[in-house]
Amino acid sequence: MELYHGSPEDMTGRSEREIRAYRFLDDLGIEFDRTDHFDRPATTMEVCADVDSVLGVHICKNLFLCNRQKTRFYLLIMPGDKPFKTKELSGQMGISRLSFADEAAMSELLDVHPGSVSVLGLMNDKDKLVQLVIDEDVLGEEWFGCHPCENTSSIRFRTSDLTEKIIPALGITPVTVKLRGWELSFDELDPTDEEQIADMSGLATGIIREYYDPLLGTEQNDYMIEMFQSVRAIKEQLARGYTYVFVKANGEPVGFMAFYPRGDAMYLSKLYLRADMRGRGFARDMLGCVRQQAERSGLHAIELNVNKHNKTTEIYDKLGFTRIRDEKNDIGSGFFMDDYVYRLEW
């Protein structure tokens, strides 16, 4: 594959729908880069990866959807590497049931075939019957990648051109959504299951090492992992009334929590996620799980300690926690935990 700038000089062999897409962009004065892959339609992960590499951008996922009655149609644009959950979008859109629209509707409304759905197809929707829906993560990228209504070519242009030129020219108003693409589940650790305890120790050790080695140094962190996250330590905590929970995204363990009743509050001892899972809004759901456990125990508050150098202090501020005091605890071997204590009441 080669990288070209702008529309092809020779349109021979290209479909009328693809030619219309190039003319549409040219009429708007939009600068774009293009790669052609006539013998390799973008229908496999391998080809899509090659296209992304040539363009230096991820081609967006374009999904053509409809309601159950097939009376309302939607074009969803979201990052290509984000999983799509119908239930999640349905909830945000207030639609009881969404499904994939059929090929006949795709052809009639957008004049494209499966695998070639693109925001540029909306120029063929003369009656404005298709609602454009954009995941906000798409809008945060500098570049936007799509097909020119045929999946044997791919293009990229600035996302600002999408929002400031293309969408206004289409005469439509998009709906913006925030999709996580992940379904969270919370699995409580069985305190009698040796394998689960070992798995929890391994998960916790990996996450805490990646997070706290740069913050505390490996010597103190190794000591704290042995003190608090080894198999022996977890067993001791379970015996003292701790509840450990695996946090899973689409069934895969990506984090963990540990908490226990202390005084008039549920004390949240641990709430951690893998680095690649942070920034996705999971913390709110995780805290919701802890709150449910607190309420089942007749408690109406959550307390936790946060290292003073930990950036997550900002998250707890946003989630309604109040900083109630400072604490500096001696954990032995010359090491200290210098924390803020936060509390949330309801």
Q: What is the distance between the alpha carbons of residues 156 and 179, in angstroms, rounded to a whole number?
A: 23
User: pLDDT by residue (tens digit) across 155-204?
Assistant: 999 999 999 999 999 999 999 998 888 888 999 999 999 999 999 999 99
User: pLDDT by residue (tens digit) across 120-161?
Assistant: 999 999 999 999 999 999 999 999 999 999 999 999 999 999
State yes or no: pLDDT of 44 exceeds 90.
no
Asked if 166 and 236 sit in the same domain, the reply is: no
Q: Rounded mean pLDDT of 200-213?
A: 95
Q: What is the distance between the alpha carbons of residues 81 and 331, in angstroms, rounded to a whole number?
A: 43
Q: What is the distance between the alpha carbons of residues 87 and 127, in angstroms, rounded to a whole number?
A: 28
CATH number at residue 298: 3.40.630.30
Q: What is the distance between the alpha carbons of residues 87 and 72, in angstroms, rounded to a whole number?
A: 17
Asked if 91 and 199 sit in the same domain, the reply is: no
| Cβ contacts of 37-45, under 8 Å, gap ≥ 24 | 37/1, 37/152, 37/153, 37/154, 38/13, 38/152, 38/153, 40/152, 41/115, 41/151, 41/152, 42/115, 42/147, 42/151, 42/152, 42/154, 43/115, 43/151
Range of 237's domain? 184-345
Tell me, what DSSP letter sits at residue 166?
Answer: I
Asked if 77 and 212 sit in the same domain, the reply is: no
Asked if 87 and 212 sit in the same domain, the reply is: no
Instruction: Single out the residue in 132, 150, 177 at which a domain terminates.
Output: 177
Asked if 259 and 319 sit in the same domain, the reply is: yes
Instruction: Single out the residue in 177, 211, 240 at which a domain terminates.
Output: 177
Asked if 39 and 142 sit in the same domain, the reply is: yes
State yes or no: pLDDT of 1 exceeds 90.
no
Asked if 166 and 215 sit in the same domain, the reply is: no
Burial class (CB in 10 A: 0-12, 13-18, 19+), 44: exposed
261 pLDDT tier (thresholds 50, 70, 90): very high
Asked if 161 and 239 sit in the same domain, the reply is: no
301 pLDDT tier (thresholds 50, 70, 90): very high
CATH number at residue 126: 3.90.960.10
Asked if 94 and 241 sit in the same domain, the reply is: no
Asked if 143 and 243 sit in the same domain, the reply is: no
Asked if 73 and 113 sit in the same domain, the reply is: yes
Closest to 121 measured CA to CA, from 63, 35, 49, 52: 63
Furthest CA-CA distance within the chain: 77
Q: Rounded mean pLDDT of 211-220?
A: 90
User: Quick one: pLDDT at residue 260?
Assistant: 98
User: Quick one: pLDDT at residue 145?
Assistant: 94
Total domains in the fold of the chain: 2
155 three-state secondary structure: strand
Query: Residue 168 has which token pair?
Result: 């206004």
Q: What is the distance between the alpha carbons of residues 280 and 134, in angstroms, rounded to a whole number?
A: 17
User: Quick one: pLDDT at residue 82?
Assistant: 85
Instruction: Single out the residue in 133, 148, 177 at which a domain terminates.
Output: 177
Asked if 77 and 13 sit in the same domain, the reply is: yes
250 pLDDT tier (thresholds 50, 70, 90): confident
